[in-house]
Structure 1
Amino acid sequence: MILVSKHFFYKNYVGLTLWPFIILKNSSLKKDTVLINHERIHLKQQQELLLLPFYILYLFEWVLRCVYYFDSYKAYQNISFEREAYINEKNLKYASERKPFSFIKYLWLSKHKGE
């Protein structure tokens, strides 16, 4: 289910997934198939981890990567859940075809610290 609310977003962020909802900053984003696909990948991740473990792992990984990169945005970009979603967001079949726990292979796949 897609909801629209500008109150959830910080700076340039435009989409957020809180299972079972995809929340968008404005209604025109409903037509952005790549963004919707990115958020559907997050729905799959949240569902397979039974929600609470997803949020705990997401926060834990973000904190660790903040310490590593000294940059909260770079940390966000390198969270395994985000890496999986960004890398596969243009493949509109990915969410339906992905194997369970696919995010695990993205734990070690990260951008270089100096980028």
Structure 2
Amino acid sequence: MILVFKHIFPKPYVGLTLWPVIFIKDNDLRQDEILINHEKIHLKQQLELLIIPFYIIYLIEWVIGILKYRSTYTAYKNVSFEREAYANEHDPDYLKIRNPWSFTRYYTSRTSKR
């Protein structure tokens, strides 16, 4: 389910997934196949981890990233769940071929400084 809720997004964010809903900043983003695919990858990750553990792990990785990079945005870009989603958001077939627990490959791969 995709809902438009523009008031929860600080810049530069435009999408957020909270099982089972994808929130987007404005209605035009429903047509953004890359963004929707990115958020669907998060839905799969959340389901795989039985939802609550996903948020706990995400928060821990993000806080560690803030301490490591001294930047909330760089910390966000280096959360393993985000790294998997960004790396595969352009592939519309990714969720069809994705192996379970694929996000774990992104714990040890190179960090993103963006």
- What's the TM-score, normalizing by structure 1? 0.94
Structure 2 gaps of 5+ residues are none
C-alpha contact 1:78 1:110 (8 A) present in aligned 2: no
Identity value in percent: 56
Does the aligned pair in 1 maintain the 2:74–2:112 contact within 8 Å? no
- How many residue pairs match? The answer is 114
- CA-based RMSD of the aligned residues comes to 1.2
Q: Deviations over 1:28-57 (max 9, x none)?
A: 000000000000000000000001000000
Matches for 1:80-91 after TM superposition, within 5 Å: 80-91=80-91
Q: TM-score, normalised to structure 2's length?
A: 0.95
Query: Deviations along 1:41-98, whole A, 9 cap, x unmatched?
Result: 0000000000100000000000111111111110000000000000000000112221
The residue type equivalent to 2:62 in the other structure is W
**Superposition deviation, residue 110 in structure 1:** 3.3
Q: What corresponds to 1:34 in structure 2? A: 34
Partner secondary structure for residue 54 of structure 2: helix
- Where does the alignment leave 5 or more consecutive residues of structure 1 unmatched? none
1:12 corresponding residue in structure 2: 12
Q: Secondary structure at the match of 2:29?
A: helix
Which SS does the other structure have where 1:23 is aligned? strand
| Corresponding residue of 1:55 | 55
Q: Which runs of 4+ in 1 moved over 3 A?
A: none
User: Deviation of residue 102 (structure 1)?
Assistant: 0.3
Q: Which residue of 2 aligns with 1:67?
A: 67
1:3/1:22 contact within 8 Å kept: yes
Read off the aligned partner of 2:36 and give its amino acid letter.
I
What is the SS of the residue equivalent to 1:3?
A: strand
